[in-house]
Amino acid sequence: MPRPWRLLPGPRSTPFTFLYTLLLVATSLFAEYADPDLVLTLLQGSSTDVEHLAHAPLLVLVASALWIAGGMTSAYAIAFLFVLTALERRAGALRTAAVFFGGHVVATLATELPVGAAVALGQLPADSLQRLDYGISFGVMACTGALAGLLPTWARWPLLAGVAWYTVSTLLDSADPVSDSGHLLALVLGTLSWPLLRRPRVPRAGTVVSGRC
């Protein structure tokens, strides 16, 4: 019998997704109800634009993933909840965290560093170094690509095709090609993690492993 509650994170079954969700709910409520000037200051300080990456890369790479662009009802917030829960149930907390933050960091650097190079070469204006860039979308896209590799074939390819079509069409129509190209890259990075995720997980110390002969 279907158990719909398994689609949602829990503190024991999916601790990484559960705790991260609580953190995102807290920052989203803060962004909604706190002083707008304070919120804007914090978002600007968390932005992974070229200028911030040059001066405090580790800080902004972490801080930028503490906010949801668009709030708790955005498509990426909903996808975060269901995609990361499904991935963590299949791959475990550590691997899920590695895919999420790996996609977040690599896609961010791969899209922002060319902006810095283009500004240095005079192909983009100097204010491109200070664009407001934050959110969880790169990590969510990486986890979506990773999750597809752990699904049955009948679900894997429709999921990948649908998400790829969405990201490509958004990129072609977008006024923000930097972020949208990062979404496509993060999806590809997630698919590259399939060999790692398909390896059997090592049981935790103290776990009793049973099986049939």
Higher-pLDDT residue of 46, 127: 46
Q: What is the pLDDT of residues 183-199, one digit of tens each?
A: 999 999 999 999 999 87
CATH number of 4-195: 1.20.1540
Cα-based distances in Å from 129 to 46, 113, 114, 125:
14, 10, 11, 8
User: In angstroms, rounded to a whole number, what is the distance separating the alpha carbons of residues 92 and 110?
Assistant: 27
Q: What is the pLDDT of residues 25-57, one digit of tens each?
A: 999 999 999 999 999 999 999 999 999 999 999
Amino acid 203: pLDDT:
57
Reading the block at residue 23, the tokens are: 């953190």
| pLDDT band per the 50, 70, 90 thresholds, residue 209 | very low
Round the CA-based radius of gyration of the chain to a whole number and report it: 18
Q: Looking at the predicted structure, is the pLDDT value of residue 105 above 70?
A: yes
Closest CA to 139 of 173, 195, 88: 88
Amino acid 121: pLDDT:
85
DSSP SS3 for 209: coil
Mean pLDDT for 135-139 is 97
Reading the block at residue 92, the tokens are: 């475990």
Q: What is the pLDDT of residues 11-32, one digit of tens each?
A: 999 999 999 999 999 999 999 9
User: In angstroms, rounded to a whole number, what is the distance separating the alpha carbons of residues 95 and 118?
Assistant: 35
Contact between 47 and 133 (Cβ < 8 Å): yes
Amino acid 46: pLDDT:
96
Q: What is the pLDDT of residues 106-122, one digit of tens each?
A: 999 999 999 989 888 88
Q: What is the pLDDT of residues 146-183, one digit of tens each?
A: 999 999 999 999 999 999 999 999 988 877 888 999 99
- Domain parsing of the chain, residue ranges: 4-195
